[in-house]
Amino acid sequence: MAAMEYRIELIFVPVSDTDRAKAFYTEQLGWHADFDQVVQPGLRFVQITPPGSACSIAFGEGIAEDEPGTMRNVQVVIDDADATRAALLEAGVDASEVDEQDWGRFVTFADPDGNRWTLQQLPARA
């Protein structure tokens, strides 16, 4: 079998209030709103992309099966943990202190529903 490419391009984030979530991700975090459409009654699809990311997130009405606030395992690579944390705090986001580990420097935050994001500054490679 020939090697195949797999590209993760969309992650669903379970939220309780679509407008509140959209405001958080776009206005507070500064992520780009790609799409916001009511597809049919009871089905609204919002797609947001972090700057520099090949993967977007999606949320809305009628699209997520998980309980709001249950996303816990998405990790995002960033260039500078200190600068990112400072920008989050300035935007009113409750970001953790920088956690120093041998495998990277980490900052965590949650959206208004409690979906938790882990940001990792990769260690310098020799």
Task: Please state which CATH number belongs to domain 10-121.
Answer: 3.10.180.10
pLDDT of 45 = 97
Instruction: Compute CA distances 4 → 1, 9, 10, 34, whole Å.
Output: 9, 16, 19, 28
pLDDT of 2 = 83
pLDDT of 1 = 77
Place of tokens 């979530």: 21
Q: What is the mean pLDDT of each run of 10 residues along the chain (126 residues)?
A: 90 97 98 97 97 97 93 95 98 98 97 98 87
Domain residue extents for the chain: 10-121
pLDDT of 85 = 98
Whether this model's pTM surpasses 0.75: yes
